[in-house]
Structures are given as structure tokens and as C-alpha cells.
Structure 1
Amino acid sequence: MNNIQLEQIVNSALWAAYGDALGFITELADKKILKARTGLTKVTELVSWKRSIGGKFGTTITLPIGAYSDDTQLRLSTSRSIKKNGHFAIHAFSKIEIPAWQNYALGAGRGSKVAASNLSKINSSWLNNFYSKDGIDYVNGGGNGAAMRVQPHVWSASNLEDVESYLLDVIRNSLTTHGHPRAIAGAVFHALSLSYALINKSPPNTSDLRVYNKWTLKIPSLIASDSNLSTVWMTQYENSTGKNLTHEYRLVYDEINSYIDTIEEWQAGGNLKYADLASKLNLYDEKTRGSGSLTSVAASAAVMLIYNGPIEELFIEIINELHTDTDTIATMAGAILGAFIGARPSQRLQDDEYIVQDACRLFDISKNDSQVDFNYPDSMTWKNPSSIVDYINTDNGRLNFHPFGDLRVISEAFLSRAKNNNFCNQWVISPVGQSFLIKRRNVKIEESTFSEQESLIFSGDTSKKLVITTPKIAPPIISHDVDTTETSSINQDPNIDELVLAAKESNFNPKVIGEHIIIIANSILGTNGVISYSAIISNKINT
């Protein structure tokens, strides 16, 4: 049973966001870019800064003190998708949260963007998001875009020692956007490292890391244990790649073991500085620096330096190691560190009150004591717009973000550099308490006033202390009537195991079995699902 304290979950969430916010400033920057963004040559604390977004015809935006990137954005999306009973609503996550995230994404990788775009399509599901566009392929998606967001599955787990109870959701979450074993193994590795820190209230050592890596070899069997994944996803993966899944995970297992060997060499050398670790792991290589497996291992190794000096100093070392994946390594290290250090970041973060509230809800879920769910639109009537700007409805001079509801403006509009200026970006705050830098059509909207809490986002005031409050029920969805040329009704993938059980309880009533076959045939499981279900039913009848 869990003996995890609320403060551990809250601190883990805050330090994860802190590492992300600090590392976001230096992400993919050299000294010249860093100077242009901040006016600084080294970042030692959270600061307000500027960044160009949207390419040639985009704009330059101001990011407030403590602004976070896609790492924290998708972590919060994952959190909202975990229901009060602990169930991961993967359809809401993959067909509502991720597509809508495209509108406000900050610092996202190319693979995650293509994955999100593909999930917006009517014929795409989390089970078959095998995208291929501009040289970016799902089956080669081995980046850390999955590992960076899976912490909520650990924070909400009712029994961390029952590893399989939360690892399957970690895998499902990851496979939604990434198909290469490096991405999935990295997510599993990070989840286990975080779990260890929560249970033992200390950082893992290299022996522990080798134990986590053994789970890499078990991932194919975990995938096979899920009837939907084994029926649809695994078949399509092996057909698409011509490779054996078990063999591919063995290769990643060997790769991670080699990283751990390098960490042990680093420790034996006595020069326990993060820069030396980064050099030995070659975190600067453009081909591998965003690898899900490499960055997860690097984050766990970085945590071993916590006793060498002040907490913030470790983050400063990580995020000033330019040309590495600064924000993701720092955010994963932050999640692990926060689980046991018993302190919070000294600076306030953007949306920190919402982050605390969200962590409290996940803790309550782990104790089977949550009454709070996010009210998603009905999955059968939800529609994804054909353009990401159309997630923002500007009718009647007001802003409404599907599926979050009415928005309140908290910044100036940042106009694009295009001649026609049809679009702009703007900071807003949503009813759930999260702020977004939205992209919308450049039309006149009603003016909004700042509340004290909202202006705090841009003032950088750190004098107010965060307090843990009871999570509030998310507001109802106000509207989701989106102008669209392509609609996407979220078909709930039937669970074959549950259907087989229902058929057995009906004493294999032919009418029930026929209804099940129609349900499966009309779902994303299709013909493969019907064949699998029929084979299982035949076996049950004859035994």
C-alpha cells in the first residue's frame, strides 16, 4: 500500500514544472540566442524572456517569469485525463487534449506536432496513429515527448509497489504519439525512477537503474497483455516495420545498459559534475540528445548529484549545459527530486496554484478519495476543427477555447509578421486555472481586466506563499460547436476481454455474441478484432 505523503506529490509536481520553466529558457539555444532571449549569458533564476515562434511569418512573444513548455503542458493534459476512479481516459487524452494542445503548444518537438495533427483526423485513434509526414514516422518516434508527461500515472497510483498497475497506462499514453521502443522504454524507466524516489524518499543508484531497465524487456509482454494493443497496435507495428517487437526492445535494453555503464565510469572518475556527465553521455549529439531512453537515464543520474550543493544549483548546472535537451532533463530530474527533498522552489511558477491543486487531486485519486473530474465534452459529439485557430471561437467578441470554456485575456496581442496580420497570439487564462498562449484570428474582442492572481503571472512576485487547497471541480464545457470541414467522433475502443466476459456470463448467447461482433467491426479494432474475439469465444466454448 502507498505510504506517500501529499507534500511529496505536490513538491514533485512543482519541481518538475520548475525544471521545465528554467530549462525552457535555454532550450536549443547557443550563447547568441540566449543573449537575445534574456540579455544574459547564463541563467541563474527564472526570468521573463522573449522568443520567436511561428517561423518566418510568426511573431516574437514575451514569456512571463516561470513560463513552462510542452513538457508541463502535456503533463497537465495527462492529469486531466485521469478520472477520479483512477481510470486513464485515453480517448479524451488522444482525441481532445492532444489535438487541442496544438493551439497553445510551446517548445514542442516535430514528432509530437505531427502526432497531434494526425490524431485530429477522423480516421485516427491512439491505437493506429502510425503517421508519416516530411520524413517523420511514428515507428521511428523515439523522442522524450512521452517520458516527459507520464508522471501523473505514478502520482495517482494507488499502490506503487504494484508496478504493472500503472506501467500499462504509461505505455498506452506513450504509444499515443511515439512508436519507437526508445520512447516507450524511456517513459517506463522514468516512471520507475520516480516511483522509487516516492517510496524510498531518496535518489536511485546505478544498481536501481539496472533493475528499472529489466522492465524494458517486459514491455512487449505488457503490450501483449492488453487485448486492444495486441490485436491492433502490435500487428500494425510489426507489419509496418518488418521487425519483431521483442527483439527491438532487447536492443534498447542493451543501449540503456551501456548508458548505465557510462554513469558508473563517471562516478568512478571522481569528477562528479553535471557537465562531465553530459560529456560522457554525449548529450550534445543532435541525433540522440532528444532520445527518450538517453534523457530519462541522464535525468536519473543527475539526481545523484543532489547532495553536492544547494538544490537550485543543480538545476542551474543542467539548464546551462547548452546544446542539450535542457528543459526535459531538468523537468524529469525535478519530478524525481521533488519526491524526497521536502522543499519547494523558491520562485513562483506560472499557474503554480493550479499545479498544486492538480497534484492534490492526483494524491486523492491514489487514496481512492477524489470527487473531482474534468468535464470533457461528450465523446460522441466532439468535433475537431480543420484548423488549429478554430479551437478558439471569437464570436460576439468573446474568446472560447474548446474544450476549456470562456477565456480571459491577460496580455497584449502579439501580431504575426505576415502582411495581412490575420492571426495573433495572446496569453489567456482558462476557467480551470491554466493559462495558455493561444493562436487566434485577429479580430476585435472584448477587453478584460486583470485580477490580482492573474497579474501575478507577469509580475514575478514571489512574496506570496502557496497553500494546499481542496481541488475544485472543473467547470462544465460551455460550447463545442466548432466550424469544421472534418469532424471526428471519438469511437470508444471496445475491450475484448470485457466483451468475452459478458458473452460468458450470457452463457454464450448467440445474440450477445453477434452484437459484440458488430461493435468490434465498427470500431478501430476492425477485422483483426473480430477474428481475435471469435477465436477467444471458440476456445472458451470448447474448454
Structure 2
Amino acid sequence: MSAMQWEAVRASAQWAAYGDALGFITELTDTAGVRRRVGQDEVTTTVPWKRRVGGRYGRDMPLPAGAYSDDTQLRLATSRAIRGDGEFDAEAFAKIEVVAWQAYALGAGRGTKAAATGLMRVEAKWSQNVFATKAARYVDIGGNGAAMRIQPHVWSARDLTNWDHITRDVVRNAVSTHGHPRGILGAVLHAILLAHALDTNELPGPKQWRPAVDWLEQVPDVIAKDDELAYLWLPTWSDAAGIDFRSAAVTVANECRAALEAFDPTTPLTTETYAALVQRWGGFDAATRGSGTVTTLLAAVLAHAYADSPEAGLLLAANTLGSDTDTIATMAGALLGVVTAGPPPGTVQDVQLIDSEARRMWDISQGREASTFAYPDLLRWSPPKATLDLVGHTPMGPALAGLGPLTPTDTPAASNQATYVWGTLPFGQSVLVRARLDLRPLDENLLPGDVRPPRSRRAADVPKEQQLLFEAPVQAAVSADQRPGLAGTAPGAVSERAHRQAPPSIEEIVQELARNGFTPEQVGRALLHQIRGGRYGVERAAAFAGLLARAYHSEQERPR
């Protein structure tokens, strides 16, 4: 990687957020709606505007210039969940980040919202969030809610040509919320195209699209090599979906090939030809508009066509009303930023935070020491039953479960169901939270490890008048140099990890136990070894027990 690469990662992050902010203004509305929001028929840059939050009976809230939607919110959440040693903490992402996000989500998709509700269940795991409600079924969620957020896995990759490793983390991220192969494989396809762009400093074109689509058929092999995906997620998914993931991957790859074959890359991409392409690929159809694969392909085509004029490309995406404006623009922005020297031309909210997270991803990619976010202990994590209670009172004032103290930056605005207020989190992120006016106490186990209150005083002991939501707004946002430090990672952890030999897989351990006749002492030792196996001990033990039972039964049924 060249020295220029840091600038490429930084610009990729900034242009992705800029595309999101532009397309957020025009999302799910018509020309009259755009005029109501910004006073003109189309978007030309980021400006302050108003949007209804909280559904049909919510209220219109002012958003600052460059305000971003759930696309960038969940991208920042993904970034925080990547530890200083490069490991993606899938459980913290699913159980803490996605759950906490419900309190501040802007423009959230129905599928991701349903998945977030599912993850509030005590028994739900990142690999076991198979839910079915009247509103949605996990295995039907194939939208772009995963694809739009996975760029940090590429920005932090040590080796951009190691598609196996990038794919593994992207799939682990995607399956916590998305169960339809289009949602999972759309995320993989976008990641592979972004990895190519960062590796070569060139936007992938028709010659590179095909091998990236072909890679989708290899994803089942990547899943098979990962214990949690292979033995926990896949069997549960297969039972719920009633199909084989390998054949589903072939079907999705074939859909992508057919779409690309119907596209002529020599035709200039104008307002008319782009709209015709969106129409042909189902990008205006409510049933397929947000498809993970359709959005990824449209973003790739748009980025390739507008390599020399990225702003025009993002404005085209944002002003093609009726398409998924913010997500196509954010994914095209992530690609275009790689080859664009310099920041986007308009305001982006929280640009210092976006920069600092991009820098942390870059440091990780270089094997340098990087900080790790101090999430609450998952063994003690038990979120409130109501999303309105994710923001609660602590001895230090209001706080957001999982992410820490919340400093109000505006006056609260009440609606009949809830109160909305802009606030800032300790690391500099601006959030418009939805909460009760009269905050309930927030359990200290729901706070990050580095901001626990002193034990002498409980939240419930705070005088009642101090529990009202955000009485005294603080105007100044938290600057980068005022943010509390994150829990550091031990020096040398990165390089040492790279040289360690890979431990045997669960499958290899079970095969060895079978060869030895499943002796109770060996089985017990192997099970204890899995339970003590660090971060995913419980999951690995469950996967081990399931595989062991299958192997034992098949051994008993073999003719003697």
C-alpha cells in the first residue's frame, strides 16, 4: 500500500457520508417533497432541512447541513466494533450497537429495524437472530442495510487481495440483521469492489465486475471455514429458509450476471440512461428498490461512469427520485472517494469523527497499535424492554445505553409519544435521540467500561427534577481533543497474532474424537477447551456440541 492510501481511505469515508447526506434529503419523496424540504426542485449540495421523524404521527425536526442517515450511522457502528487488533466484535455490534441505534436511527429501513428488535431478546445472538413477526421474516430481509455499512471491513483490511478474510467479516456483520442471500451477497460484492479500488487506486469497471460476481459462488466455502458461521448460523438459516445456501449463492450470482449482460457500458450515463437502467433493474419498484444486489450494481456502474466528476455522479443518484437515493449515493461515494483527491464540496456532519474513525481503520490496516471501544460487558448486558428507555438517567446525567453519556446540544421537542433532542456522545457523534421526557434510571451495566459512574450513588437516587430530559442544552459540540481516550490495545498484540498458527477447527477436533471412539474424558476436555476459548466461548461450545452429536449419531448408525 502506498502513502497515498491513507488519503484514499479518508476520502472514501468522507464521500460515502456526503452521498448519504445528499440522498437522505430526497429519500422516499417526490419533487413537491424535495421542494418542501429544501425550497427547490432538486438537491445541489447539503443544506439544513426538516424531516418528519417518528413515523406518520411523529414531528418535523430540523436537521443540520450534512446530516446523515442510518447508512452512515451503522457504518460508524461497524467501525467502532472493529477492535484495535483488527478483529470484528460481531456480538458487540449486534447486541449493543444495533440495539442502541434504535434510539437515534434516522431513515431506518423496515428490515434492519425488525432485526434490531429481534436482537433485544436475551437469547438472540449475532449468529442466531432468526425471527419471524407479522412485519418481517429474517430470511426475507434482502435489502441493502448490510451492504451500506460494511466499508470499514475493507478500510481496515491488512491484505486487500485476501477476499476470504474480508468476506468472512462482511458475512458475520450482514447475517446479524439480513437473512436473504441478496442482502448478504450484495454486501460481499460491494466489499470486493471497494477492495479492488483501494488495492489498485482505480475504480472497478466491466472487466472487474465479472470476477467479483463470480466470487459470490465462493462465499459458501468461506462460511464453511468459519466455525460460528458453519455450525451456528448456517444450520439455523437452512432450517428457516428451506433452501441450500450454496445453490442460493449461484442463483444470486446468475441474477447479477444477467443484469450486467443487459447493460451497455459504452453508453454514456446521463439522467435519462441512468433512470432507464434503474427502471430495468427494478430500482423504482417498491419490492426490489432496496435490494442488496441491485443497489450494489447501480453504485458500481455510477462510480465507474463518474470517476472524473464524483460530485455529478452523487447528485445524479440523489436526484433520481423514487430510487434508493441515499444508499446508492453512499455506496457510489465510498468507491469514488478512493480515486478522488480531496474532500467533498459540501458540509458533512461529524466530519472530525468520520476522519478519526477512518484513521483508526487505516492504522489497523497497517498493523499499528489502535484503540478499542470499551463496550459494556455482554454477560451483564440486558437492554430495557422498551426502545424509549435506551436513553436513561445516570448519576452523571443522561446517557445512551451501550455508548455513554449524552450531552444535549438543542432544546427538546415533544411529540405525543416521545421527546426528541439533538445530543453529542463522548466520542463526538451527533445523534437525534428519541426518549421519554421523564427519564428512567439506566442500569450502570449498560454503560461503556470507561465511563462507569462512582458506585456510591444510584441513578434512582438523583432528585426527580434532575431526571427530566436535558434541561440545560450545551451548545458546543465535543471537539476531537476533548474526547475521552478509548481503552488501549496492548502493543505487540497485532504482530504476535499474525504469526500464531491457526488452531484446529471444531470439525477437525470432532474427527479426532471420532477416531478415538468418543472417550468421555477426551470429549469433556475438548468441550471445556471450547468454553474457555475467549470471545466466542459459549458459541463455540454450542457449535461443538451440535457437531459432536451429529458425528456421534452417524457413527452409531454405521453398519458394524
If the length of structure 1 is used for normalisation, what is the TM-score?
A: 0.85
Give the match for residue 400 of structure 1.
399
C-alpha separation between the residues in 2 aligned to 1:499 and 1:404? Answer: 37
Give the match for residue 496 of structure 2.
none
C-alpha separation between the residues in 2 aligned to 1:330 and 1:244? Answer: 33
User: Any residues of structure 2 matched to 1:65-464 within 5 Å, and which?
Assistant: 65-263=65-263, 265=264, 267-270=265-268, 272-273=270-271, 274-307=274-307, 310-395=309-394, 398-416=397-415, 418=416, 423-443=418-438, 444=468, 445-451=470-476
Give the match for residue 62 of structure 1.
62
Indicate conservation of the 8 Å contact 1:360/1:471, yes or no: no
Alignment coverage as a number of residue pairs: 501
Indicate conservation of the 8 Å contact 1:228/1:496, yes or no: no
SS of equivalent to 2:62: strand
Indicate conservation of the 8 Å contact 2:372/2:487, yes or no: no
SS of equivalent to 1:385: coil
Structure 1 residue 537: deviation in Å? 10
- Give the letter for the 1:449 counterpart: V
Corresponding residue to 2:545 among 527, 530, 535: 530
C-alpha separation between the residues in 1 aligned to 2:323 and 2:68? Answer: 17
Moved more, 423-432 or 394-403: 394-403
Structure 1 residue 216: deviation in Å? 1.1
- Give the letter for the 1:315 counterpart: L
- Give the letter for the 1:473 counterpart: G
Structure 1 residue 279: deviation in Å? 3.7
SS of equivalent to 1:52: strand
C-alpha separation between the residues in 1 aligned to 2:402 and 2:240? Answer: 34
C-alpha separation between the residues in 1 aligned to 2:305 and 2:61? Answer: 35
Structure 1 residue 497: deviation in Å? 2.5
- Give the letter for the 1:207 counterpart: K
1:271 to 1:330, Cα distance in 2 relative to 1, 3 A: closer
SS of equivalent to 2:311: helix
The Cα offsets for residues 344-401 of structure 1, whole Å up to 9 and x where unpaired, read as: 1122311100000000000000011033111111121122111112121135692111
1:168 to 1:425, Cα distance in 2 relative to 1, 3 A: same
C-alpha separation between the residues in 1 aligned to 2:79 and 2:187? Answer: 16
C-alpha separation between the residues in 2 aligned to 1:452 and 1:526? Answer: 45
Structure 1 residue 452: deviation in Å? 6.5
Structure 1 residue 170: deviation in Å? 0.5
Give the match for residue 464 of structure 1.
none
Indicate conservation of the 8 Å contact 2:14/2:354, yes or no: yes
Indicate conservation of the 8 Å contact 2:424/2:478, yes or no: no
SS of equivalent to 2:412: strand
Indicate conservation of the 8 Å contact 2:95/2:119, yes or no: yes
Indicate conservation of the 8 Å contact 1:44/1:316, yes or no: yes
C-alpha separation between the residues in 1 aligned to 2:24 and 2:244? Answer: 37
1:85 to 1:509, Cα distance in 2 relative to 1, 3 A: farther
SS of equivalent to 1:60: strand
Give the match for residue 499 of structure 2.
none
Indicate conservation of the 8 Å contact 2:15/2:337, yes or no: yes
Give the match for residue 447 of structure 2.
none
Indicate conservation of the 8 Å contact 1:499/1:516, yes or no: no
C-alpha separation between the residues in 2 aligned to 1:169 and 1:3? Answer: 25
C-alpha separation between the residues in 2 aligned to 1:469 and 1:341? Answer: 28
Indicate conservation of the 8 Å contact 1:130/1:139, yes or no: yes
Indicate conservation of the 8 Å contact 2:410/2:475, yes or no: no
C-alpha separation between the residues in 1 aligned to 2:487 and 2:317? Answer: 38
Indicate conservation of the 8 Å contact 2:405/2:425, yes or no: yes
Structure 1 residue 473: deviation in Å? 3.0
Indicate conservation of the 8 Å contact 1:306/1:314, yes or no: yes
Moved more, 4-13 or 424-433: 4-13
SS of equivalent to 1:360: helix
Moved more, 148-157 or 56-65: 56-65
Indicate conservation of the 8 Å contact 2:410/2:473, yes or no: no
- Give the letter for the 2:524 counterpart: G
Structure 1 residue 275: deviation in Å? 3.2
1:3 to 1:255, Cα distance in 2 relative to 1, 3 A: farther
Give the match for residue 523 of structure 2.
513
- Give the letter for the 2:306 counterpart: I
Structure 1 residue 509: deviation in Å? 9.1
Structure 1 residue 536: deviation in Å? 7.3
- Give the letter for the 2:527 counterpart: I
C-alpha separation between the residues in 1 aligned to 2:9 and 2:119? Answer: 31
C-alpha separation between the residues in 1 aligned to 2:391 and 2:146? Answer: 26
Indicate conservation of the 8 Å contact 2:410/2:474, yes or no: no
Indicate conservation of the 8 Å contact 1:503/1:509, yes or no: no
- Give the letter for the 1:474 counterpart: L
1:196 to 1:469, Cα distance in 2 relative to 1, 3 A: farther
Indicate conservation of the 8 Å contact 1:24/1:326, yes or no: yes
Give the match for residue 473 of structure 1.
485
Indicate conservation of the 8 Å contact 2:383/2:401, yes or no: no
C-alpha separation between the residues in 2 aligned to 1:373 and 1:528? Answer: 27
The Cα offsets for residues 18-48 of structure 1, whole Å up to 9 and x where unpaired, read as: 0001100001111122222222211101011
SS of equivalent to 2:169: helix
C-alpha separation between the residues in 2 aligned to 1:432 and 1:374? Answer: 10
Give the match for residue 461 of structure 1.
none
C-alpha separation between the residues in 1 aligned to 2:326 and 2:13? Answer: 14
Moved more, 76-85 or 125-134: 125-134
- Give the letter for the 1:306 counterpart: Y
If the length of structure 2 is used for normalisation, what is the TM-score?
A: 0.83
Structure 1 residue 525: deviation in Å? 6.5
- Give the letter for the 1:323 counterpart: G
Give the match for residue 29 of structure 2.
29
Consecutive unaligned residues of structure 1, counting only runs of 5 or more, are 455-467, 477-494
- Give the letter for the 1:382 counterpart: W
